[in-house]
Structure 1
Amino acid sequence: MTFLKLGCTSFGGPAAHLGYFQKVFVEQKRWLKPDEYAQLIAFSQFLPGPSSSQVGFAIGYERAGIGGALAAFFGFTLPSFILLYLLAVIPSDTNPYLQAATLGLKLFAVVIVLDAVISMAKSFCTKQLTAIACLSSATLVLLAPYIYTQLIIIIGAAIVGLIISKKEHSSTIKIKRPKVIPAFIFLLAVLIAIFAQGDIANTFSAFFYAGSLVFGGGHVVLSLLQSMLPNFNQDQFLLGYAAAQSVPGPMFTLATYLGAVAHPANPLLFATIATFAIFLPGFLLLLTFKDSWKALANHSQFSQALALINASVVGFLLAALYQPIFTSSVHQASDLAVVLIGFICLRFLKMKILFLVLAFVTLSVLLH
């Protein structure tokens, strides 16, 4: 139910989702400590797939095992799945009230991410070196917004941290073996995607490959899917992409829309297959290597490396606060005024998120 509520209200893309998770699971429910949450974010940056959904999946797994992980995934993904499926099967005209409400929710996403950046910076950027790592990573991401920029930055931060900590610690780092079952399922799914034939297999193959190869979240998956699904025209892709950004929850549910549109005779089946296939690789890889990452993160020699990685993750969130969240939401002075008022209400007056969501929607409809 917690993730279902988030799936209905988490607008603004992966960075905003991480801000919502920070507020709910670290500050309010205290399911995770700040450093544990930062570890999950850093780990998700190493894996292909939807980073915010992987973090949510991992939070569910930490809370209640594989059942909790699946509950987190279905709860967070279901609202956007339903909305994009309906968009694919039901012709609809543009609704100005809906557009205004969506703008209000995108403005609220600016508030949430700004609050998350400040909270995480207080925890992970307390020293000169970590502050430099944070600002440097934000600068590099803004200047070089390429697919592998974040991964390269994290690897670089880890190397610098290990070089520094090596002077202080000399013990050997022992990494736990990866889990066999999810790794086996991943390899089996790869074989199915390669050799199976038919519409169902081809749909699974295209979206499974996209989920396996995309680093950087939903904004990056569009170009890869365009090359893998040549039968779609540009208008279909752009409509689905715009809708995926406008609805709450993960942007990877773009696969829901594309799967349903590609097979109008049986849209629900193919929407489900496409959605399942695009999320599957990232989740299997997370289950395979999660314990290995945790063992590495808890080692004393890796502490300095982890500190720089965490600071770099804050820098990623800072960069995302500007592009795409701020630039796609704040277009005029009244928008910025609403953001500042909302930030005061959230940060200093401690108002409930649900109340603020309703207030932002109402105010945006009245203004626009």
Structure 2
Amino acid sequence: MFAPLLALLLAGCAALPGQGPSAISITADEIESGTTEANYATVTLDRNSARSIQSYRPVTFAQRFGEIGSRGRNSVLGVGDGLVIGIWEAAPDGLFSTATGKSVQVPTVIDQSGFIFIPYAGRIHADGLTVEGLRTAIEDKLKGKAIEPQVSVTVQNNASNSVVVVGDVAKPGQYPLSIRGSRLLELVAQAGGAREAVYETVVTLKRGHRSGTARFEDLIDYPENNIPLVSGDNILLSHKPRTYSAFGAVGQTTLVPFKTQTVTLAEALAQVGGLKDFFADAGGVFLFRYEDAALVRLLRPDLASSVSGETFPVVYRLNFREPQAFFTARAMEMRDKDVIYVANHPTAEFGKFLQLIGPLLSNVNTVNAISN
């Protein structure tokens, strides 16, 4: 009577309730061997992989926009620009001479058709010209009319070369680009900077049909991401606090906000109570995250041909049975939306099985005692 019952219970042992997959389920042979049937890559977190992760420079944001430079374009005049044209003559009885001097200042704006109007010179096409090009064009128009004219052009309002900065900034608004070229951090600084903590701020740049997002601190830590801007760019700063999740055999399954700029894996585990006694598999600590595809190819060269897109899901495995793992966990920094999972130890599943069949064994013993 007891043997058939035990066989039935053993057959259903795999269906016992659990906190998640076992360590062997995550690092199955077909995944470790290089295939991507599970649509994620597994990486053993050790000294070498941690060093590669730390030295990697996330510049996807720069690669998306960096090829479009702004230098040169911002020195070109456009519709809506406000100008001040200064005209000097060599004699006091010239066209632009007055009782107080031999010069005049003419304020003007480039109209919708791209022209400005200068007395005695008429309509002059200015849209698309540089400041020097417009200055030369005005002088040429005045030759033979004014006495040895000398002209200066000052840009008073660079409306045609501007960007919009909105969101969680101190002074949202429209800001002109400098003639020498302006970069992303410069415009954010002109707008008063981020209102919230830098490490909790995300920058989104919209350029035509393109858009890209980066953590504000990545613009500072990796200067390549501080890209040149072009006219018409829209910049949005958003307050997005970082969090990570912890599941499985940990002291507390919860969503944890970042309280400091950097949080290591060791600190993250400590904040959720560490590994749970009598349940946790010290060799089955996992970190789930999306990594840049370039980093995945660096960590797993055997998957280079299978990794596509800008990001790819990665599962890092850390074996706390090895002393070196504690130093690796101290060096590994957490990122926004990371997921920590600690698998149950196989003996914990057996303990559940014993708890399940314990009452049944007691009933069998009682029946046997009565029968005897």
If the length of structure 1 is used for normalisation, what is the TM-score?
A: 0.20
Structure number with higher helix proportion: 1
**Structure with the greater alpha carbon radius of gyration:** 2
Higher fraction of strand: 2
- What is the TM-score with the length of structure 2 in the denominator? 0.20
